[in-house]
Amino acid sequence: MKIRELREARGMTQAELARAVKASKPTVCMWESGARRPGLDYLLALADVFGCPVDAILGRDSPRERDAS
């Protein structure tokens, strides 16, 4: 998961991200530490907040990057 990277790149705190996706700060902390994974609804909300595809949040390469390898 790249939630911490994406959050920090946007200069957001965990509390700000939690408010933006309607989650608790401890939940965001658990996502970032790998103790829990966000469900589909949260993944979609995170993608909206970060302006990126869900694959980027999950740390997956885009199809174009995989095809170029």
User: Where residue 15 sits, what CATH number does that domain have?
Assistant: 1.10.260.40
- 2 burial (CB, 10 Å; 0-12 / 13-18 / 19+) is middle
pTM of the model: 0.86
Tokens of 11: 């200069």
Q: What is the number of structural domains in the chain?
A: 1
CA 47 to chain centroid, in Å, comes to: 7
pLDDT for res 61: 72
pLDDT for res 69: 55
Please give the residue range of the domain that contains residue 35.
3-68
pLDDT for res 67: 57
| CA-angle at 21, arms to 11 and 53, nearest 5° | 75
pLDDT for res 1: 87
**What stretches in the chain show pLDDT beneath 50?**
none
